[in-house]
Amino acid sequence: MAEWDSSFLSLVRHLPQTLLDLHARLEQGGFASYVVGGSVRDLLLGKKPKDYDLASSATPEQLKSVLAGIEGVSFIELGRAFGTLGVCYQGWLFEITTFRQESAYHDHRHPSGVVFINSLEKDLARRDFTINALALHPQKGLLDLHGGLEDLAHKRLKLVGDPLARLQEDALRILRALRFVSTLGFALEPATHQALKAQAPLLAHIAKERIRVEFFKLLLGGFVRLCAPFQPLLEHTLQTRFSPLERLEQISPNLCARLLWLCHTWESQTLLDFCARLKFSKKMRQSLHKLHAQLPLEPIENPNVWLKERLESLHLGQLRALLGFLQAQNPALSARLKGELKKIMKNHEVYSLRFLALKGTDLLERGFQGAQIGALLQACLQGVVRKEVRNEKEALLQYIQEYHTLREN
Ligand code: ATP
Ligand code: MG
Closest ligand to 37 CA? 1
| Residue 216 CB-half CA count within 13 A | 14
Distance from residue 180's CA to the centre of ligand 2 (Å)? 12
- DSSP letters spanning 342-398: HHHHHTT---SGGG-SS-HHHHHHTT--HHHHHHHHHHHHHHHHTTSS-S-HHHHHH
DSSP 3-state of 298: coil
- pLDDT interval class at 298 (50, 70, 90): confident
Distance 391 CA to ligand 2 centre (A): 52
Q: Cβ(114)–Cβ(102) under 8 Å?
A: yes
In this structure, are strands 92-98 and 53-56 parallel, antiparallel, or unpaired?
parallel
Q: 57 alpha carbon to ligand 2 midpoint, in Å?
A: 19
Say whether pLDDT at 155 is over 90: yes
* Mean pLDDT for the stretch of residues 68-95: 89
> What pLDDT score was predicted for residue 118?
72
pLDDT at 112 exceeding the cut of 90: no
- Which of 127, 146, 210 for mutating ligand 1's site (highest number of atoms within 8 Å of CB)? 127
Q: How far apart are CA 144 and CA 34, in angstroms?
A: 13
Question: HSE (CB half, 13 Å, CA atoms) of 108?
Answer: 17
Whether the CB of 161 sits within 6 Å of ligand 1: no
What is the pLDDT of the chain when averaged over all its residues? 93
Q: Measured from the CB, is residue 23 less than 6 Å from ligand 1?
A: no
The answer to whether the CB of 135 falls within 8 A of the CB of 142 is yes
C-alpha–C-alpha distance, residues 242 and 234, integer Å: 9
Q: State residue 117's pLDDT score.
A: 65
pLDDT at 17: 95
With a 6 A CB cut-off, is 127 part of the ligand 1 pocket? yes
CB 110 within 8 A of CB 129: no
Nearest ligand to the CA atom of 131: 1
pLDDT of residue 7 exceeding 90, the answer is yes
Euclidean distance between CA atoms 351 and 383, whole angstroms: 11
Identify the three-state secondary structure at position 321: helix
Produce one character per residue of 12-46: b if its CB has 16 or more CB atoms within 10 Å, e if not. Answer: beebeebbeebbebbbebebbbbbbbbbbbbbbee
Q: Kindly compute the dihedral angle of the four CA atoms of residues 387, 391, 397, 402, in this order, to the nearest 10 degrees.
A: 0
Site to probe by mutation for ligand 1, drawn from 53, 98, 130 as the one with most ligand atoms within 8 Å of Cβ, is 53
Q: Is the pLDDT of residue 303 over 80?
A: yes
* Residues less than 5 Å from ion ligand 2, measured at CB: 38
Give the ligand at the shortest distance from the Cα of 132: 1
Rounded CA separation 300/323 (Å): 13
Relative to beta strand 156-157, strand 141-144 is unpaired
Please state the rounded mean pLDDT for residues 244-269.
97
Read off the pLDDT of each residue in 44-55 and give the average, rounded to a whole number: 96
Q: What is the pTM of this model?
A: 0.88
pLDDT at position 111 is 63
Helix (H, G, I), strand (E, B) or coil at 247: helix
pLDDT for the residue 103: 61
Q: What does the alpha-carbon distance between residue 201 and residue 171 come to, in Å, rounded to a whole number?
A: 9
The CA-CA-CA angle for residues 139, 60, 117, to 5°, reads 70
- The answer to whether residue 384 scores a pLDDT higher than 70 is yes
Closest residue to atom 6 of ligand 1, CA basis:
38
Per-residue pLDDT tens digits for 346-366: 988 989 899 999 999 999 999
Q: Which residue's CA lies nearest to atom 14 of ligand 1?
A: 37
- Residue-wise pLDDT for 176-224, tens only, equals 999 999 999 999 999 999 999 999 999 999 999 999 999 999 999 999 9
- Residue 169: CB within 6 Å of ligand 1? no
Task: Please report which ligand is nearest the Cα atom of 110.
Answer: 1
Q: Which run of H or of E encompasses 100?
A: strand 100-102
| Cα–Cα distance for residue pair 82/30, rounded to 1 Å | 22
Ligand 1 centroid to 131 CA: how many Å? 10
Residue 78 has what pLDDT?
Answer: 86
Per-residue pLDDT reduced to its tens digit, 73-84: 999 988 767 789
Please work out whether the CB of residue 189 comes within 6 Å of at least one atom of ligand 1. no
Residue 358 CA to ligand 2 center (angstroms) comes to 52
Q: Is 48 in the pocket of ligand 1 (CB under 6 A)?
A: no
User: How far does the centroid of ligand 2 lie from the alpha carbon of residue 375, in Å?
Assistant: 52
Q: How many CB atoms lie within 10 A of CB 362?
A: 17
Q: Which ligand is nearest to the CA of 183?
A: 1
Whether 408 shows a pLDDT value over 90: the answer reads no
pLDDT at position 403, please? 75
Query: Is residue 122 a contact partner of residue 115, using CB atoms and an 8 Å limit?
Result: no
Q: How far is the CA of 128 from the centre of ligand 1 (A)?
A: 7
pLDDT at 58: 94
Q: What is the mean pLDDT of residues 152-165?
A: 98
Give the separation between CA 87 and CA 85, rounded to whole angstroms. 6
pLDDT attached to residue 409: 59
Q: Are strands 141-144 and 114-116 parallel, antiparallel or unpaired?
A: unpaired
